[in-house]
Amino acid sequence: MKANLQAMWLRTSTEVTVRQRLHEVLRQAIIRMVLAPGQALSEKEIADLFTVSRQPVREAFIRLSESGLVEVRPQRGTYVVRISRQAVLEARFIRESLEVAIALEAAKCTLPSGVLMELNELIERQRSCIERQDHDRFFFLDEMFHRTLAISTGQTMAWNVIEDVKAQLDRVRYLSIPDSTPIPKLTDQHQAIVDAIAAGDTTAAVQTMSIHQREILHSLPELERRFPELFEDVGMKIHAQTI
């Protein structure tokens, strides 16, 4: 775990503040299950690991708690929260609403050829992850695809809202790759979205994006069955049955 965290730290930009780097590393570590649900986090251990003071670590914990990824318990410690089904469903609803609106806007305004080329290049890079089974790389490229689409339509604020609310959703998305939601299926959906936008077909753009954003609804029940210990609601039910 420590080696993974240090590797993630080295990949972050040194042009941002220590607090921002810590927040990004810890956020990604929680999303990618390097820091598991229920795990205790120590300010001192993390500060020592990255050779920083405890203040920026404390500030990063606060931001993570605001995103619903950790729980700070006074006098008891800080813990990675288990995945909340309700939080995932609410985040998915918000994300679908905004991303469908973004796809509609993109199809209506006719994106420049350079942007369409960039989106298609991202899809090709996603396809290259299939053979290598590079799930981490695909997850990064998937983020880039949706961010590029939002920014290119002038919807930076909408993307910021999406990023703020999707932390819990991202953990389920990461778990769903590759088994519950295979990379080829997601890549084909991305291609269908871009094709609809390029054709200026607003109906198809809305439909393809909506289908894409609802994919998690199919994988969530399977993931709860496979990883009950990671989910807050499922874990509580199992605990109640064993008492």
What's the pLDDT score for residue 149?
97
Tokens read off for 57: 């670590």
Residue closest to 34 by CA, chosen among 66, 13, 11: 11
Domains along the sequence of the chain with CATH:
16-80 (1.10.10.10), 85-228 (1.20.120.530)
Q: Which H/E stretch holds residue 125?
A: helix 113-132
Interval 58-64 mean pLDDT: 93
Determine the Cα–Cα distance for residues 204 and 107; give it in Å rounded to an integer. 9
pLDDT for 128 equals: 95
| pLDDT score of 234 | 57
Q: How high is the mean pLDDT of the chain?
A: 91
Averaged pLDDT for residues 180-190: 93
pLDDT of residue 243: 30
Band (pLDDT 50/70/90 cuts) for residue 240 is very low
Taking residues 72-79, report their average pLDDT: 87
DSSP designation for 74: T
